[in-house]
Amino acid sequence: TASQTITLIGLGPMGQAMTSALLSDGRSVTVWNRTAARADQVVAAGATLADTPAEAVAAGDVIILSLTDYQAMYDILGDATAGLAGKTLVNLSSDSPERTREAARWATDHGANFVTGGVMVPAPMVGTDLAYIYFSGPGETFEAIRDVLEVLGRARYLGSDPGLAQLMYQAHLDIFLGTLSSLMHATALVGSAGISARDFLVDALPFVGAIPAMVGDGGPEEVGALIDADLHPGHLSTATMMGATADHIVQASEAAGIDTGYPAAVARHYARAIADGHGSANWTAIIEGIRDPQP
Ligand code: NDP
């Protein structure tokens, strides 16, 4: 509720953006950061700088953490655990789902409520209409602080398993980082024949945006429902056809003398689907081999 006091620990670009959004919403915010100078801007904007992590913990009903990883939370709060009972910790730092589950047990052992989240937009977009954040953890804890969290971005609650928010975050980053690597690989590929990155990206970046319409006629719901039912119908983009293309990309990369790790991984998905007898199925059949990898 609006009467809840807020502490924000971790003032990298993300933590600073969150503090600014909370201050703009009229909330009072206590902050702490290992490197105190990083608090200068938010203090000038009205935040209160705590001298120690223990003081920061004492000042907030809701303690939001925005750190490089979960180890940083233990480093910072390790000497302040006595003050955690009854507090609600919201850790928005990146880490593996298993680390976040372990942290939820740690927080519970110290009498704190624990919610974990994954911020899905870059720092400058925090607090705007475009911002959204996945959360997981106990539903009643989440609902009790929902209005605070909504200041940072639209809150999407996934369920009580604390690992879910980071799993969802990483699934999106899986797509993002894969796309970025394929963009640079493709740029290097055409670059080997003298096509500039500038000329290539003028065509290739809009192509990325056209991909959703190519994934399936019925949109994500229809494609997803078929995959959920283990059905891979379709004859326009079969695993055999896509696999041949994947092999051609590997061959072209070899000929160009550039790294083949990325296209080889892609080609492996299709080779496996074909070997398992899914060659005439839709390309989505590659998920079967991804789910059940061979050594
Ligand atoms: P930074 O790496 O810039 O900031 C990290 C913060 O963690 C700093 O406050 C740093 O303190 C602190 N920190 C790291 N290790 C320790 C430690 N051992 N002890 C004490 N403090 C520590 O990250 P961002 O602000 O960019 O991001 C924060 C989180 O948000 C990350 O998990 C990131 O994945 C996630 N995120 C970030 C996005 C972005 O656009 N930046 C987008 C989506 C998610 P100090 O200042 O003293 O170094």
Query: Which residue's CA is the nearest one to ligand 1's atom 38?
Result: 122
CB 88 within 8 A of CB 61: yes
What was the pLDDT predicted at 295?
76
Query: Which residue's CA is the nearest one to ligand 1's atom 44?
Result: 119
By most ligand atoms within 8 Å of CB, the mutation choice from 14, 35, 126 for ligand 1 is 14
Domains of the chain: 6-161 (3.40.50.720), 167-291 (1.10.1040.10)
Residue 73 tokens, joined: 């939370």
CB 22 within 8 A of CB 8: yes
Cα–ligand 1 centroid distance for 67 (angstroms): 4
Residue found by looking up tokens 């550039």 in the block = 258
Task: Dump pLDDT digits (tens) for 122-137.
Answer: 999 999 999 999 999 9
Mark 39-72 as b/e (b = at least 16 C-beta within 10 Å). beebeeeebbbbeebbbbbbbbbbbbbbbeebeb
Distance (Å, whole) CA 189 – CA 195: 9
Query: Averaged over 281-291, what is the pLDDT?
Result: 97
Distance (Å, whole) CA 285 – CA 233: 9
Distance (Å, whole) CA 116 – CA 146: 13
Query: Averaged over 244-259, what is the pLDDT?
Result: 98
Q: Which atom, in ligand 1's list, is nearest to the CA of 67?
A: 7
Residues with C-beta less than 6 Å from any ligand 1 atom = 10-15, 33-35, 38, 66-68, 72, 75-76, 93-94, 119, 122-123
Cα–ligand 1 centroid distance for 12 (angstroms): 5
Task: Dump pLDDT digits (tens) for 184-217.
Answer: 999 999 999 999 999 999 999 999 999 998 887 7
pLDDT band at 2 (very low <50, low <70, confident <90, very high): low
Helix 97-109 and helix 70-77, axial crossing angle in degrees, nearest 10: 20
Cα–ligand 1 centroid distance for 86 (angstroms): 25
Query: Which residue's CA is the nearest one to ligand 1's atom 34?
Result: 94
Instruction: State the chain's mean pLDDT as an integer.
Output: 96
Distance (Å, whole) CA 118 – CA 64: 12
Parallel, antiparallel, or unpaired for β 62-65 and 88-91? parallel
Query: Averaged over 254-275, what is the pLDDT?
Result: 98
Residue 180 tokens, joined: 């970025």
Q: Which atom, in ligand 1's list, is nearest to the CA of 16?
A: 25
Q: Which has more pLDDT, 74 or 214?
A: 74
By most ligand atoms within 8 Å of CB, the mutation choice from 68, 120, 126, 170 for ligand 1 is 68
Q: Which atom, in ligand 1's list, is nearest to the CA of 69?
A: 32
What was the pLDDT predicted at 235?
86
Residue 267 tokens, joined: 């080609």
What was the pLDDT predicted at 24?
97
By most ligand atoms within 8 Å of CB, the mutation choice from 11, 67, 93 for ligand 1 is 67
What was the pLDDT predicted at 1?
61
What was the pLDDT predicted at 294?
86
